Structures are given as structure tokens and as C-alpha cells.
Amino acid sequence: MTETALKVLKDKFGYDSFRPGQDEIINKIMNHENVLAVMPTGGGKSLCYQIPALMLPGLTVVVSPLISLMKDQVDALSENGIAATFINSTLDYQEIEHRLQQAAMDQVKLIYLAPERLDDERFLSELSDLNISQLAIDEAHCISQWGHDFRPSYLNLMKTVHQFPSHPVVVALTATATSKVASDIMQRLNIDPANEVSTGFARDNLSFQVVKNQNKEAFLLEYLKVNANAAGIIYASTRKEVERLTGLLQKKGIKAEMYHAGLSEDVRNKNQEDFLYDRVQVMVATNAFGMGIDKSNVRFVIHYQVPGNLEAYYQEAGRAGRDGLPSEAILMYQPSDLQIQHFFIDQSEMEPAFKTREYLKLQEMSKYANTEGCLQQFILKYFGESSPACGHCGNCLDERDQINVTVDAQKVLSCVLRMRQRYGKSLIAQVLTGSHVKRIRDEHFDQLSTYGLMKGRSQKEVTDLIDFLTSSGYLQQVGGEYPTLHVSEMGGSVLKGKAKVLRRGAVKAKRTVSVDDGL
Ligand code: ADP
């Protein structure tokens, strides 16, 4: 089997060898076993179903939410002499019928569909008349309500899978799936857990960095000056902020364009093309930009504001360095930016249980921003993968000395206990700094022995310390929307004097990067 697949790889795509996981996935598909393929962005997921598509007798249906990318994929296949077509909302009824007929007459090997097509009963029934041998589901995390980008149309896929009389083999592909999402996908699509092929999430060419407590604008302008020859994406949370930042950069003479869902399609397309073809250096965008953007030489992705969860962060950050060359993923963190995401969750129409889950995910994002451990390791652990420290993220390269902050940590931890582990960090910090706010008097916290124990420190300094203790595992957050802080087992050891707490010094060493990509 591998021999034939290898020959197709060479003859049709011009590559000499498989990337990790590709041959295993292809073998399973050719054995008619349903598969879940989890591979990082740029790992080569498309070939996993394109090669079987050429080896199997009938038609391959690819369901992909990336309408903007469908045409490019089909064009690329056609250039390699592979007959493929797509059907999505950009086509009129006649054209859709024409394309279905082509498929019925075996004139194409692959047909790409937007998931929304599957909501149409009539279309489904026409489709099920075709001799479909393989069903590939791209961005398969959209199928799970636990995923960060759930699409209701994807639920129809299950019906679809079981409806086709030709019993196609199913391959689900994604770059972002926590173990919960992965098992959800497998259950829904009837994939045997033994048939999950995961090549891991690690993107070794990405260097992660968190920039905290700095003037964000000054940092950004300096960064873009140093990296003037490199293409990059800057994500912000709101359209307004995207517009403000784009204006700012343009005024400073930086070639920047913007992308958000409030712009007309024409403007979005134009700006996207300018970026893809290196006519501008920087794309400033909301999360509306990027799914399926296949620009290989993106050297940096900067999040100017914190995104809502690590899945979204990793996916967006992962748009850097698809060509495998060293690239940077920088999160500019300011605790107040969490409020924006908090607001988005609050305003959304999700059911309460989902809202709580989103608040918990946001807490993980804040832990990421506050950890002093390896950033890549933190992300991989979130996705259920253990790995050594990467050695090249902002924290791994941090040369500041570690300071013993055990006594301060003990003050915080004992205050949390004295407040009966029923409050959040702001109030705890207020008690420790001896604040006179009414609530403290009302609740008699000014009678506690820990009241004012850190007098003279700013509220911010103390909340930073609490964030650090939380992300390092000495404190645990409990609850979704308004989490309360609890002392963990590790925190207990610190209180008993059995463990020390070390923290990096307060001033971040200035480090600049220079990447030259000949923009
Ligand atoms: P993904 O969908 O996983 O993000 P793609 O399928 O778009 O990634 O593949 C990323 C790039 O890697 C593409 O340019 C593709 O042609 C290339 N590629 C895939 N498989 C191989 C291989 N075996 N050898 C060399 N290049 C490959």
C-alpha cells in the first residue's frame, strides 16, 4: 500500500517522502478504517485524504468551512492534473447542478463542500446518489460543542455519514483538539479510538513570548521597526481597536491593512490579497481573519489583546511560520483586557453550562499569561501532551535571577484561608494592602490578622503576585464567571514551610528579534 501511495506522492505532488503520520493515516483509510487525524497547522493534512482520493475508485467529498480557500485548493489540485471541483454559496443553482453532474459522470475525483450545503435536504439526497468512497472532514473540531468554533451544520454530518449508501470511509482532520474534543469527534463520527493518529501539536519553529506590563503601543512600534522586513499579523479583540491600530501604524509609515467582519467583502478581499502577495507588511485583524489563510511566510503573530481561550490562541498564533522557518508568537497581556473577553461570554447566547466552560477557558488563558514555566509546554499540556521545556520561548530564555518570594506567598495564602476561600483576587489584594473600601468593613475583614499585611504595596503588585501564585499552582480558581481562590496542596506545603516559592525579578530583560524575510 505504502509503495503505491508513495508513487502517487511523487508523481502527483512531487514530494519524496511522507511527513510524520501521513502514511499511517493513508493506510488506515485504504483499509476502510475511519480515522481522526490530529496534526499541527502546516503538518500536511490535505495530502492525507488527497492521496487516497486518487487511489480509491469513487469520489471523495471534502467538507471544509474555508470557503475562501476552496477555490485555491481546487486550482492547486487542477495544476497537478487532478480533477477537482467545489460547491459553495458563491455559485448559482445551475452551476451547482452542473458540478454535481460532473461528479456523477466520474469527471472529478474530489468535490469540496461548505458544511452549510448539508443543511439542504435536496442537495443531500442528490449527493447520496453519487458513488462516494471517502468523506473528509476538515477543521473537524467544529463538529464538537466542546470545540472553540462549533458549527451547527457540522452536526448534520453525522446524518450524512450514515446516509450514504456507498458507505464512505470517514477521515476527520484538525489541528486543535483537546482530548475531550477528540473523543467527541470520534464518538460522533463513529471512529474507533484506536484510529486516532496524532502527530502532536508541537510547532518547534514557533517561539512563544508574553509581553506584560509594558506600554503596548511603544512595544509594537519598536517591534515593527526592528522587524521591518517581516510579514506578520496583529490580532485585536474588537473592530474598533483594529481600526485604531491600523490608523496608528499607517500614520507611522508602516504598511498595514485591516480585516474584520464589519468591512465590505470587496475591501476584505482586497486587503487579504495585499497581505498574501506581500504588498503590505502587516495585517491588523479580528479573529475573523485567518482561518484557512495559507500564507507561508508569516514571521510573527502578535496578539495585541488577549483572546478568549488557548485553542483560539494556538490556532491564531499557528498562522506564523507555516513554512517551518523560525517565527514568533507574542501575546501582549494586560489583565484588564480579560474584561473584553469576559464581556463577550457574558453577552453571548450560550447556555449557562457553556458559559461557565468558556469562563474556565479564559482563566487558563490568564494562567498562560502569568506562568513562568515554558510557554510551549504549557500549551501542549493544555492539549493533553507532555513535553520537555522548548528552550526557546520567552520564559525559557528569561535570564533574570529568581527571587525567593516565599514569605510574600505565605502572606497571600494565609489571607486566602482566613477569608475562608470564598473570594476573588481583587478583594484579597485589598485586604492585604489594608484598603478602606466599604465592603472590607462590612465583612469585618479589617479584623483579620492578615489585614494590611502588605501595606505599602500597590493593589496591582499584589494582584500580579496572586496571578503568579495561581498560574504556578499554589492557588486554584474555583467557579466560572466569578472565580474564588483556594489554597492548593502545593500552597499548603508553602504555608507549612515545606516548600519555597521562587519568582523571576520584576524587570523584564529587553530582547529584540530580527528576522529578515525579504518582504
Ligand atoms: P495543513 O492542512 O495540515 O495545515 P497542508 O496540507 O496545507 O497543511 O500542508 C502544508 C504544506 O506542506 C503544503 O504546502 C503541502 O504541499 C506541504 N506538504 C504536505 N505533505 C508534504 C510532504 N510529504 N512532503 C513535503 N511537503 C509536504
* 455-498 per-position pLDDT tens digit: 999 999 999 999 999 988 899 888 888 889 999 988 999 999 99
Nearest CA to ligand 1 atom 2: 45
Count helices and strands in the chain by DSSP H and E runs: 20, 17
pLDDT at 339: 86
Look at residue 14 in the predicted model and tell me its pLDDT.
87
- Tell me how far the alpha carbon of residue 381 lies from the centroid of ligand 1, in angstroms: 25
Mutate to test the pocket of ligand 1, among 47, 171, 296 (most ligand atoms within 8 A of CB): 47
- Of the chain, the end-to-end C-alpha distance in Å amounts to 42
Neighbours of 236 (CB within 10 A): 26
Separation of CA 37 and ligand 1 centre (Å): 14
| CB neighbourhood size of 57 (10 A) | 8
Q: Find cell 519598536 and name the residue.
A: 222
**DSSP run (H or E) holding 470:** helix 459-471
How far does residue 174's CA lie from ligand 1's centre (Å)? 14
CA of 19 to the centre of ligand 1 (A): 8
Assess: ipTM above 0.95.
yes
From the CA of 294, give the closest atom in ligand 1. 7
Return the C-alpha cell found at 236: 485585536
E strand segments, 244-365: 256-259, 282-285, 298-303, 327-333
What is the distance in A from the centroid of ligand 1 to the CA of 15? 10
CA contacts within 13 A on the Cβ side of 414: 17
Segment holding 50, helix H or strand E: helix 45-55
Does the beta carbon of 40 lie inside 6 Å of ligand 1? Answer: no
Judged by DSSP in three states, 165 sits in: coil
Q: Is there an atom of ligand 1 within 6 Å of 19 CB?
A: yes
Residue 60: exposure state from Cβ atoms within 10 A (0-12, 13-18, ≥19) = buried
Rounded to the nearest 5 degrees, what angle is found at the Cα of 373, between the Cα atoms of 370 and 374?
115
Report CA dihedral (22, 26, 28, 29) to the nearest 10 degrees: 140
What is the tens place of the pLDDT at every residue in 162-217? 778 889 999 999 987 788 889 999 998 999 999 999 887 788 899 999 998 789 99
Closest-CA residue to 172 (of 159, 182, 162, 160) = 182
Find the 42 Cα to ligand 1 centroid distance in Å.
Answer: 6
Q: Indicate if ligand 1 lies below 6 Å from the C-beta of 321.
A: no
- Let me know if 11 is exposed, middle or buried by CB neighbors in 10 A (0-12, 13-18, 19+): exposed
Ligand 1: centre distance to CA 46 (Å): 7
Atom 27 in ligand 1: which residue has the minimum CA distance?
44
353 CB-side CA count, 13 A: 2
- What is the distance in A from the centroid of ligand 1 to the CA of 322? 9
Atom 9 in ligand 1: residue holding the nearest Cα: 44
Residues 6 or more apart whose CB falls under 8 angstroms from that of 272 comprise: 68, 259, 283, 289, 293
Q: How far is the centre of ligand 1, averaged over its atoms, from the C-alpha of 197 (Å)?
A: 16
The answer, yes or no, to whether any atom of ligand 1 lies below 6 A from the CB of 47, is: yes
Q: Is 41 in the pocket of ligand 1 (CB under 6 A)?
A: yes
Amino acid at 321: G
> What are the pLDDT digits (tens) for 84-104?
999 988 889 899 999 999 999
18 Cβ inside 6 Å of ligand 1: yes
CB-CB contact of 88 with 67 (8 Å): yes
Give the position, in ligand 1's atom list, of the atom nearest the Cα of 13.
16
* C-alpha–C-alpha distance, residues 236 and 251, integer Å: 18
pLDDT given for residue 112 in this prediction: 96
Looking at residue 162, what is its pLDDT? 77
Query: What is the CA(306)–ligand 1 centre distance, in A?
Result: 29
Q: What pLDDT shows up at residue 270?
A: 94
Q: What is the 3-state secondary structure (H, E, C) of 249-269?
A: HHHCCCCEEEECCCCCHHHHH
Q: Which residue stretches of the chain have pLDDT < 70? A: 1, 68, 146-149, 291-292, 506-519
**Atom 23 in ligand 1: which residue has the minimum CA distance?**
18
Ligand 1: which atom is nearest the Cα of residue 40? 3
DSSP 17: S
The residue whose C-alpha atom lies closest to atom 15 belonging to ligand 1 is: 44
DSSP codes, 376-391 = HHHHHHHTT------S
CA distances from 388 to 90, 113, 374, 446, 504 (A): 46, 40, 9, 45, 20
Name the 3-class secondary structure at 404: strand
Tell me how far the alpha carbon of residue 324 lies from the centroid of ligand 1, in angstroms. Answer: 11
8 Å CB contact between 200 and 385: yes
* Ligand 1 and 42: CB distance under 6 A: yes
Residue located nearest, by CA, to atom 12 of ligand 1? 44
Nearest CA to ligand 1 atom 20: 44
